[in-house]
Structure 1
Amino acid sequence: MSQSVNYIDQNSSFERDWSAYYDAVTGRPPRDTLLAALANFHSVNQYSSKTKFAVDLGCGNGRDTLELIRRGWWVLAIDGDKEGISRIRCNQNIDSHKLQTDVMRFESLVLPKSVDLINASFSLPFCQSLYFPRLWDTIVTSLSSGGRFCGQLFGIRDSWAINSSVNYHTREQIEDLLQSFIIEMLEEEEHLGKTALDEEKYWHIFHIVACKR
């Protein structure tokens, strides 16, 4: 992790061109947090003989959904953007028999019970802070004991944290959120860089893999 820097983007407007983003990340590999969570299931031979059910929350165009289904998981892919869901359903590399999809926003999210894995790669920060406690409670409640959460949350120095449509947390707040979990990964990343759309950005991110007690 690089040394802490206070970096604030003075442009507080926040509109994402999701079509351009999907084009930019097409063909990229699955996120490392997802791969780490799957490796942890494998290391304890967990669910080797049962149907494995995952929710890909904020699935985008399906880079993680594709990997889950490739490994034999049944997946409910959820996103608030219809285009992302449409791209997943049109992906000929995805076994549609193991795929369910839904267009749903974080503010009104409903999840099934007894989920084995909830993957939220860089999606949860885009829930408004007002609705985040309910969102997180929905995630925790839906996971079965021994199920895993993997994904990212933004830290307080992330340059997008000044936007009202983004939520952000301190490390202590994240540890509090994970009280119902055994933490398997909590890595903090902080650096000046660029987005997938080649925009200048200061990143302050927490990468998380956690197993529900």
Structure 2
Amino acid sequence: MSTNDQLENLVFEPNWSAYYQAVEGRPPRETLLSALTRFEPLSAEFPRFAVDLGCGDGRDTAELLKRGWRVLGIDSAAEAIARLQSRPDIDLRRLETLVMRFEDLVLPESVDLINASFCLPFCPPEHFPSLWNKIIAALRVGGRFCGQLFGDRDSWAVYPNMSHHTRAQVEELLQPFKIECLQEEEHPGTTALGEQKYWHIFHIVACK
């Protein structure tokens, strides 16, 4: 088998159960907090609506609910949704949930905020353009996207079932938006499970 064939057969298979245990209790992501500061104060009569993609056990969902938002939490793992729904610190009355893969994603209209913390790179590249177009279409004018994309120098870029982008590609994806934060991070480090990894990340907050 050639080196190219070996690379094509690589598949990244996260251990989500171990990941949820490792990150339990961690605070919300900085990109979400940054995006939230850019909205006007909430109206009790018209609460804002967010979609939390790849919501996991709800570290970002919980913050949105605490601030009075309505939230649709979406994750491909049923375990993640079960963990989210069992949290004692959230108001389930303002939470909807869906178990759904990126390939099959259907989003509501006129969303105020789409949060995608460290999840979009796990969308297979052949489905990423459609996913990104759905995100853009679902946001209302003045709505925001916040989250992360992985760069082309990230050590997981060897996996053909993951999506990675160059700086130029990220800037092209963000053309429909006013960029409010685009921070590029690149350094050796470790994953939440303690594995060695070279990180190349784009942290994004953008307004449609």
Q: Note the aligned Cα RMSD (angstroms).
A: 1.3
Paired amino acid for 2:175: Q
Q: 2:164 & 2:80 partners in 1: Cα distance?
A: 24
Match of 1:116 in 2: 112
Paired amino acid for 2:72: L
Q: 2:82 & 2:163 partners in 1: Cα distance?
A: 27
Paired amino acid for 1:88: L
Q: Kindly provide the CA deviation profile for residues 66-120 of structure 1, in whole angstroms up to 9, marking residues without a partner as x.
A: 0000000000000000000000011111100010000000001000000000000
Q: 1:1-213 alignment to 2 at 5 Å?
A: 12-41=10-39, 45=40, 47-48=42-43, 50-212=46-208
Q: Secondary structure at the match of 2:157?
A: coil
Q: Secondary structure at the match of 2:155?
A: coil
Report the alpha carbon displacement of residue 46 of structure 1 after superposing the two structures with TM.
Answer: 5.5
Q: Kindly provide the CA deviation profile for residues 45-82 of structure 1, in whole angstroms up to 9, marking residues without a partner as x.
A: 25545210000000011100000000000000000000
Counting matched residue pairs gives: 200
Q: TM-score, normalised by structure 2?
A: 0.93
Higher relative contact order (CA 8 A, sep 6+): 1
Judge conservation of contact 2:11–2:161 (CA < 8 Å) in 1.
no
**Percent identity between the two aligned chains:** 63
Q: Kindly provide the CA deviation profile for residues 13-71 of structure 1, in whole angstroms up to 9, marking residues without a partner as x.
A: 42111111000000000000000000111xxx255452100000000111000000000
**Which structure 1 residue ranges, 5 or more long, are not aligned?**
1-9
Paired amino acid for 1:75: V
